[in-house]
Every structure is written in C-alpha cells, then in structure tokens.
C-alpha cells in the first residue's frame, strides 16, 4: 500500500511516500529555519506563507523520488494536530485536495504519533507495546504505546517543553535559533559540574516534568554575571543544561517503563538528538535490561516519513476522514480524530 504523508505543523514543509508503512520510498524536507532564525523564533504567519509557497514542489518531488505517479497512491495522510493552526491547514488542505482528486482516503495524523512512528521507520523489528519518550520544541511526553494507535500519556511537562528551555537558554547565550543542537555541541567541551542547576520534581506526579525553573536559573546566571562584568563559561553552562535535562528525563522514562512492564523504550522528537540525553538513555537502559530505540538524527526532527508511516497504521485501524476534517492547535495523543470532526 502506497501512502503520501504530508507534514506542515511548524517550520518544516515535508512529504514522503511509504510502502506498507515501514518502507520509505522518498522523504523530502524543506526547512524554513533560516527564515525564522532572523526573528529568533518561529513566526506563525511566515510559516504558513512559506508552506503555501513550497508545498506543491515538496509533494511533487516526494512522489517523483518514490518512482511512482500520483495515481498509484492508495491514501493521503497529513498532520492535522497539534501545531500552528495556519501552518497545519496548508498541509492538511493540500492533502485533502489530493485525496479528492485521486478518489483515495484522507488520513489525519497526530504529529506526536508521527514522531513515535519515526522509530518504525528506523527499526523494522520494533512493534508495540513499548514506552515512548517524545521530546521536541513543543512537547515533553512519556507515553505508554500499547498498540500502533492506542496510547496513554503517563507524563508531560507542567510548563516549558525541554526544547523550549534549550532554545531560550541558547538564545541568551548568543546561539542562533533553534539553539538546541548548537547548545549541545557547545556543551561537549564543557564541565557540566561547574554550575549547579535545578532538577524539578512535580509532587504527586512522578512522570511529569517542569523545565521553567532550569530556564530561569540559567538566565539568572547569565544576567547576574553580565551585571557584575564577569564572563560566564558558556560551554560549562551548556554542558550543565544538557545534563540537567537528561537527568530530569531519563530516570522518569525508565521508571515509567518498569511500572508498565515494558521492556522497550523508543525516543523521538528533536531533543532526542541531544548527545547527553542519548548517552544517558543508553546507559540507563543497558543497566535496566531495557532495549532502547534511538532513531537517527535525521528522523528525530519533523519529517514526512514519520507521517507517511503512522498514516498506514491509522488507515489499518480505520481512522480515515473526509473533506470536512479540520486542524487543531492542541489535541491529546491518546484521542481520536473521530472526536474532532
Ligand atoms: O521535533 P522537532 O524538530 O520540532 C518540534 O516538533 O518541535 O524539535 C525541535 C526542537 C528544538 O527545540 C531544537 O532546539 C531541539 O529540538 N533540538 C535539540 C537538539 N537538536 C534539536 N535540543 C537539544 N539537543 C540537540 N542536539
Ligand atoms: Zn515535531
């Protein structure tokens, strides 16, 4: 079964063709990051307009690179939630128009389910059930994935997402947007023990996160040093931030997997590219006898392959929609688009 998957929830215009879910025949990503970097963050209006400009070329390229014609597609999927509403609407409406012309089903896909599915693309042997960690610019989630389309959120952030904290601290350190990857690189030469940074605990919610304290503490360190005319050791702070995020996330994911009796953990989302987080996940999982799935960096960020893959499983589960399907800025990953039509 050939499925075209379209992703446009934030600042990547992406499309991909999957064969029976797992085989990716093409994966085209147009990143708008350079544009948004000028403003230090994603500007929603610009994101929508860029998606509108690029979507036709990106989709055409994805179909061509797959070596097929549009008429061979069996279904068209697109991210319909969560994300920037104007950005989502561009990809979803383009996908609906394709499905109308081709007289093939339209499959709405939850962006976070897509991130998890990046693991199915990377690891052909991976099957649910497992515990998923999704850490991106907008989300930090621990999810129990009992089946391809059945999942329960076990933990979430109470304030900022890990990626948001990384990006904000990176910005104040003078790194270009989005600063997560640059901060990670900077920290690799640093001493993570120099600055003592907080690790928050959410009382009564062992799997929940809070990163706003880490953000504030880091910004205070930078500002206080500036006021005193002192130089902050940027690489040490960067190393400390990556360590604080990893130490906040890894024990919680491992504990959640243990509690649910899962022997597999799959990581996903842009922050899963962080080197300290990856190394700590590897160490902790080895110790706990848990098999760890870490997708390659190219599949951690937003892409079309993850949507084309998840669309296949949504299709199998009967989660198809029609031309009336809308998009939603927020939606729980455990919810069904059937409740959103
Ligand atoms: O999943 P993603 O590409 O987009 C969203 O759906 O948000 O995640 C983007 C986030 C940004 O906050 C970016 O700074 C962060 O992932 N990121 C990293 C690294 N690479 C990307 N954060 C820490 N370390 C990295 N190596
Ligand atoms: Zn994402």
> Given a cut of 90, is residue 340 above it in pLDDT?
no
Expressed in angstroms and rounded, the spacing between residue 108 Cα and the centre of ligand 1 is 24
> What is the 166 CA–ligand 1 centroid distance (Å)?
8
pLDDT of the residue at 40 = 86
Domains of the chain: residue spans and CATH: 2-116+302-340 (3.30.420.40), 128-294 (3.30.420.40)
The predicted-structure confidence for 117-156, as pLDDT tens digits, reads as follows 999 999 999 999 999 999 999 999 999 999 999 999 999 9
Asked if pLDDT for residue 341 goes beyond 80, the answer is no
pLDDT tens-place string over residues 230-256: 989 999 999 999 999 999 999 999 999
302 ligand 1 Cβ < 6 A: yes
* pLDDT tens-place string over residues 55-92: 999 999 999 999 999 999 999 999 999 999 999 999 99
Ligand 2 centroid from CA 249, angstroms: 18
Mean pLDDT of 27-42: 92
- Residue 172's pLDDT is what? 95
Q: In what order do the strands lie in the sheet with 264-268?
A: 150-156, 140-147, 130-135, 264-268, 291-293
Joined tokens for residue 303 = 């892409």
In degrees and rounded to multiples of 5, residue 137 shows phi and psi of: -65, -30
Of 82, 109, 160, 163, the residue with max ligand 1 atoms within 8 A of its CB, to mutate for a pocket test, comes to 163
Instruction: State the average pLDDT over residues 110-117.
Output: 98
Which is the closest atom of ligand 1 to the Cα of 11?
Answer: 4
pLDDT number for residue 323: 86
Residue 207: its pLDDT value, please? 98
Q: Which residues pair with 110 in a beta bridge?
A: 81
Q: Is the pLDDT of residue 210 over 90?
A: yes
The per-residue pLDDT for 209 is: 97
Distances in whole angstroms, Cα of residue 106 to Cα of each of 83, 240, 269, 326, 330: 19, 45, 25, 12, 20
Strand (E) or helix (H) holding 32: none
Closest ligand by atom to 184 CA:
1
pLDDT at position 111 is: 97
- Helix, strand, or coil here: 186? helix
* pLDDT, mean over the chain: 96
For ligand 1, atom 19: residue with the closest CA: 181
Which residue puts its alpha carbon closest to atom 10 of ligand 1? 137
Sign of the CA dihedral 291, 296, 300, 303?
A: negative
How many angstroms is it from 232 CA to the middle of ligand 2? Answer: 32
DSSP assignment of 102-156: HT--EEEEEHHHHHHHHHHHH-TT--SSEEEEEE-SS-EEEEEEEETTEEEEEEE
To the nearest whole percent, how much of the chain has pLDDT over 70? 100
pTM assigned to the model: 0.95
pLDDT tens, residue by residue, 212-222: 999 999 999 99
Q: Which of 185, 271, 298 to mutate to test the pocket of ligand 1 (most atoms within 8 A of CB)?
A: 271
* Tens digits of residue pLDDT in 263-314: 999 999 999 999 999 999 999 999 999 999 999 999 999 999 999 999 999 9
Backbone phi, psi, residue 119, to 5°: -70, -35
Say which residue, 13 or 42, is predicted with more confidence.
Answer: 13
CB of 240 shorter than 6 A to ligand 1: no
Distance (Å) from CA 154 to ligand 2 centroid: 19
């Amino acid at each position: 079964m050939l499925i075209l998957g379209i992703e446009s929830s934030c600042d990547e215009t992406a499309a991909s063709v999957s064969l029976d879910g797992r085989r990716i025949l093409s994966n085209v990503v147009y990143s708008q990051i350079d544009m948004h970097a000028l403003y230090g963050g994603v500007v929603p209006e610009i994101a929508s307009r860029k998606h509108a400009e690029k979507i036709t070329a990106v989709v055409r390229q994805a179909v061509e690179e797959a070596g097929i014609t549009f008429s061979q597609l069996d279904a068209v999927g697109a991210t319909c939630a969560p994300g920037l509403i104007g950005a989502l609407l561009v990809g979803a409406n383009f996908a609906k128009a394709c499905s109308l012309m081709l007289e093939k089903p339209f499959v709405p896909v939850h962006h976070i389910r897509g991130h998890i599915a990046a693991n199915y693309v990377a690891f052909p042997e991976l099957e649910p059930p497992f515990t998923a960690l999704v850490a991106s610019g907008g989300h930090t989630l621990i999810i129990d994935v009992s089946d391809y389309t059945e999942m329960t959120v076990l933990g979430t952030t109470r304030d900022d997402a890990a990626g948001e904290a990384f990006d904000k601290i990176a910005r104040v350190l003078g790194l270009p947007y989005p600063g997560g990857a640059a901060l990670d690189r900077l920290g690799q030469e640093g001493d993570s023990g120099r600055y003592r940074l907080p690790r928050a605990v959410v009382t009564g919610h062992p799997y929940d996160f809070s990163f706003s304290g880490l953000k504030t503490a880091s910004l205070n360190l930078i500002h206080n040093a500036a006021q005193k005319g002192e130089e902050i050791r940027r690489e040490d702070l960067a190393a400390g931030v990556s360590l604080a995020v990893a130490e906040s996330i890894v024990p919680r994911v491992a504990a959640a997997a243990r509690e649910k009796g899962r022997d597999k953990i799959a990581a996903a989302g842009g922050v899963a590219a962080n080197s300290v987080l990856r190394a700590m996940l590897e160490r902790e999982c080895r110790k706990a006898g848990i098999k760890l799935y870490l997708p390659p960096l190219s599949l951690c960020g937003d892409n079309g392959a993850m949507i084309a893959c998840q669309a296949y499983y949504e299709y199998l589960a009967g989660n198809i929609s029609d031309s009336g399907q809308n998009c939603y800025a927020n939606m729980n990953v455990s919810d069904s688009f059937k409740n959103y039509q």
